Amino acid sequence: MEAQAITPDNIIEKWIWYALILTYPFYVLGAVYIVAPVLGWLLLGYWAYNLWLPAPMRARSIQVEPHPVVMLWVAGMLVMEVALVFGHMDFYLGIPATIKSTIGWAKGWALLAVFIMIGATLPIRPELVYRACCVICLHTLILIPLFVVAAYTPIPGTIYISPLKAIGGPGPEFFEFQLYGINPESLGPRWRFFTPWAPAAGLLANFYLVFALQEKNIRWRWIGIIGSVAMVLMCQSRAGLVAMLFVSPAVWVISRLNSPVLWLGGGIGLSAMAVVATQLMALAESSVEEFKSARAGSSRVRAALARIALQRWRDEAPIWGHGVVERGPHLVEYMPIGSHHSWYGLLFVKGIVGFFALAIPMAVTLALLVAKAQRCATSRAALCCLLILFMFSFGENLEILAYLFWPALVLIGIAFRSDTIAKTVDANQYAKS
């Protein structure tokens, strides 16, 4: 197949394109954490500006009325801010702390709704997102020899911390320029690329694999596949490897629920599995134990953080939460209570209100994407992205990494844009004719 040129054809796509393909230059500057929030709120402002213009003066292909599920995400993330404010009020944290946390909300939870809204309302082609992420994979493959050589030379892993840290953020690791890191358990090298920690690189690698599999140009497709697989292997993320092996096959099955052959094969397969059910259960249990024992220390800390977060949520702040994360005891190596798990973190910080503010939009979106995935390739890719987010929500705080996985949020929004839905309807009509 000949190379297909994918270039931006409007100002919105240019902003998206360059924000992605310049990821590594931004990383060198320590600006990755800053670019996404600025880009998201600027693009949302662009949409809002066009919303108030008379129809003849609006930019081409602007969607004035977002899909209801997009507005559900907006409502859910606004409820997060309400929970934040009430949590601060309950624990008398003060106005300065509330303002600081609100800024954090604008760079975290709010971005989930902002980028889904952008994908659903602005003229952005999914092919552009796919190609741009494949370019990131190409840059990664080019830089991997440098990362590997640096790990086995006297070169320090962390070269410097960008002065942009003065702007404020969750921690210095978000502004570090690091060539390699050290696995605290094996003491071997572990790479996080342009992310704040290694498992976050595993999260991004899964999204890049999804995008690469949708890429129509064979050369770029293989660059994306090889680059994403290399990322997940070098970052040594257990969750990343499991998700990479599970998500795409699962979506392949889910997107063929209308196929009688699938149901027939599934019935035969389940009958065969029933014969060896005991052995399969034993295999599953041993696999879980091996997964935990791969990094026993990390698994122990995560389990302890979960117990503390649940107990303190139940006993102290069941409705609105504590408002902020708190430093944990020595038992959890002083890790913040409410970290390493989106759902426990939501319960601890934003209470049951915040928990459902994420759970409801995610569940509704999942159900709709499953239905749309039967006929729409873009919806299948978006479903993969949502399943990846759901899987990683049990090991990461999604809001703190939204500045990295925003292309996946844009794709989810594109799946609910009116022209994407129209293509799905056309495909359904063609299938019935």
> What is the three-class DSSP state of 178?
strand
16-30, 178-192, 322-336, 385-399: least confidently modelled range: 322-336
Is residue 161 within a helix (H) or strand (E), and if so which, with residue range? strand 158-161
- Tell me how far apart the alpha carbons of residues 206 and 388 are, in angstroms, rounded to a whole number: 7
Question: So what's the pLDDT on residue 56?
Answer: 73
> Residues 116-137: pLDDT tens digits?
999 999 999 999 999 999 999 9
Provide, rounded to the nearest whole percent, the portion of the chain with pLDDT above 70: 85
**HSE on the CB side for 379, CA within 13 Å?**
26
Predicted confidence at residue 426, as pLDDT, reads 45
Statement: residue 13 has pLDDT above 80:
yes
Residue 290 confidence (pLDDT) = 56
At 278 the pLDDT is 63
Q: Which residue has the higher pLDDT, 2 or 55?
A: 55
Give the pLDDT confidence score for residue 89 in this predicted structure.
93
pLDDT higher than threshold 70 for residue 291: no
- Whole-number average pLDDT of the chain: 86
**Residue, of 59 and 79, whose pLDDT is higher:** 79
Q: Regarding predicted confidence, which is higher, 431 or 297?
A: 297
Q: Has residue 401 got a pLDDT over 90? A: yes
Give backbone dihedrals phi and psi of 326, rounded to 5 degrees, phi first.
-130, 150
Q: 80-103: per-residue pLDDT in tens? A: 999 999 999 989 899 999 999 999
pLDDT of res. 429 = 43
pLDDT, position 282: 62
pLDDT computed for residue 331 by the predictor: 74
Q: How is the chain split among helix, strand and coil, in percent rounded to 5?
A: 70, 5, 25
- Better-predicted residue by pLDDT, 265 or 284: 265
Residue showing tokens 């002065």: 163
